[in-house]
């Protein structure tokens, strides 16, 4: 199941089930509207269905409390930046104000000289949990989406805390929807590709992660309570690089979809 958050002109955001023509049948790509928030409780179909081209897809989730990022979770990425592979997950937080959805612009701040893309798989938590053992992690995962962990690279190199380097508004694109039907094993074997203006920059696979999804969720929940809608960014493969105003960056995770965002200058 693919769950999207979307809006129509003059209406409040709503959730819906995405039905793609590629799944079979003769219908176009549509979204069937749901009542309520699937992360907060039971939902029902309203009976309304919209052509997906007629709606504006939004970030599929706005984390209620936090986005937890994982640094250097692919050996080749750690090596390309001259870093050692950490023995335990290297964690940081991004504020929920950094979250944007598909098609929304990534804004390059005037103070930032090196704006980098980091395409990755994101985990969406579905229930309140703490100290989750690895074998019970599937019970607390609502689903998976695509993320771009936008980074101000020069700031990251000069500031030991990554709050500014990772936390600017628009620095956490998510989307295009949440996929809920993947097993933990399936999510651990997905291709991750990042393109800038159709040039392939990153091409990796989640099976190359140093710390698995189960280990990450277990480790993070060991020190902080995870809430429904919290998002964990699982790390990026090698190939990170610059994004410039006027370019478009696309992150594709096999089995989920493609997240596309233009880059604009703050002063434009």
- CATH number (domain holding residue 190): 3.90.850.10
Residue 258, domain member (yes or no): yes
Do residue 150 and residue 182 come from a single domain? yes
The range of the structural domain enclosing residue 96 comes to 67-265
pLDDT, tens digit, 9 for 90 and up, residues 164-210: 999 999 999 999 999 999 999 999 999 999 999 999 999 999 999 99
Contacts 24+ apart (CB under 8 A), 200-206: 201/117, 201/239, 201/240, 201/241, 202/117, 202/119, 202/236, 202/237, 202/238, 202/239, 202/240, 203/237, 203/239, 204/74, 204/76, 204/236, 204/237, 204/238, 204/239, 205/237, 206/121, 206/234
Do residue 53 and residue 75 come from a single domain? no
108-to-60, 167, 195 alpha-carbon distances in Å: 23, 12, 18
pLDDT, tens digit, 9 for 90 and up, residues 44-69: 999 999 999 999 999 999 998 999 99
Do residue 49 and residue 113 come from a single domain? no
Do residue 47 and residue 72 come from a single domain? no
pLDDT surpassing 80 at residue 84: yes
pLDDT, tens digit, 9 for 90 and up, residues 34-50: 999 999 989 999 999 99
Q: What is the Rg, in whole angstroms, of the alpha carbon atoms belonging to the chain?
A: 18
pLDDT of residue 26: 66
Report whether 182 contacts 130 (CB < 8 A): no
Do residue 18 and residue 102 come from a single domain? no
* pTM for the full predicted model: 0.96
pLDDT of residue 245: 98
pLDDT surpassing 70 at residue 25: no
pLDDT, tens digit, 9 for 90 and up, residues 93-129: 999 999 999 999 999 999 999 999 999 999 999 999 9
Do residue 115 and residue 181 come from a single domain? yes
What percentage of the chain has pLDDT greater than the value 90? 91
Residue 62, domain member (yes or no): no
Q: State whether residue 69 is helix, strand or coil.
A: strand
* Domain boundary, last residue among 57, 76, 92: 57
Residue 129, domain member (yes or no): yes
Do residue 13 and residue 103 come from a single domain? no
pLDDT of residue 12: 94
Alpha-carbon span 57 to 198, nearest angstrom: 22
Do residue 19 and residue 143 come from a single domain? no
Do residue 32 and residue 108 come from a single domain? no
Residue 17, domain member (yes or no): yes
Do residue 157 and residue 205 come from a single domain? yes
Do residue 50 and residue 72 come from a single domain? no
What is the count of structural domains for the chain? 2
Do residue 241 and residue 137 come from a single domain? yes
Report whether 218 contacts 236 (CB < 8 A): no
B/e letters for 204-235, b = 16+ CB within 10 Å, e = fewer, are: bbbebbbbbbbebbbbbbeeeebbbbbbbbbb
Q: Which residue has the tokens 């053992």?
A: 133
């Amino acid at each position: 199941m693919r769950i999207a958050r979307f809006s129509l002109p003059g209406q409040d955001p709503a959730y819906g089930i995405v039905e793609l023509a590629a799944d079979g049948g003769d219908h176009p790509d549509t979204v069937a509207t749901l009542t309520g928030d699937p992360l907060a409780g039971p939902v029902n179909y309203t009976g309304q269905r919209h052509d997906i081209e007629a709606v504006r897809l939004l970030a599929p989730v706005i984390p209620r409390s936090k986005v937890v990022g994982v640094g250097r979770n692919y050996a080749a990425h750690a090596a390309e930046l001259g870093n050692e592979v950490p023995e335990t997950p290297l964690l940081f937080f991004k504020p929920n104000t950094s979250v944007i959805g598909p098609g929304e612009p990534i804004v390059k701040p005037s103070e930032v000289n090196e704006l980098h893309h980091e395409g990755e798989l994101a985990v969406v938590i579905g229930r309140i949990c703490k100290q989750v053992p690895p074998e019970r992690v599937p019970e607390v995962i609502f689903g998976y989406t695509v993320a771009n962990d936008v980074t101000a690279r020069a700031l990251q190199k000069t500031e030991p805390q990554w709050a500014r380097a990772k936390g600017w508004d628009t620095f956490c694109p998510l989307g295009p929807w949440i996929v809920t039907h993947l097993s933990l094993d399936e999510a651990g074997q997905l291709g991750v590709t990042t393109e800038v203006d159709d040039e392939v920059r990153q091409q990796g696979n989640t099976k190359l992660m140093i710390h698995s999804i189960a280990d990450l969720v277990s480790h993070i929940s060991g020190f902080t309570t995870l809430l429904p809608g919290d998002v964990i960014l699982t790390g990026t493969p090698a190939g990170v690089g610059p994004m410039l105003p006027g370019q478009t960056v696309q992150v594709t995770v096999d089995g989920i979809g493609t997240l596309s965002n233009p880059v604009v200058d703050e002063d434009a």
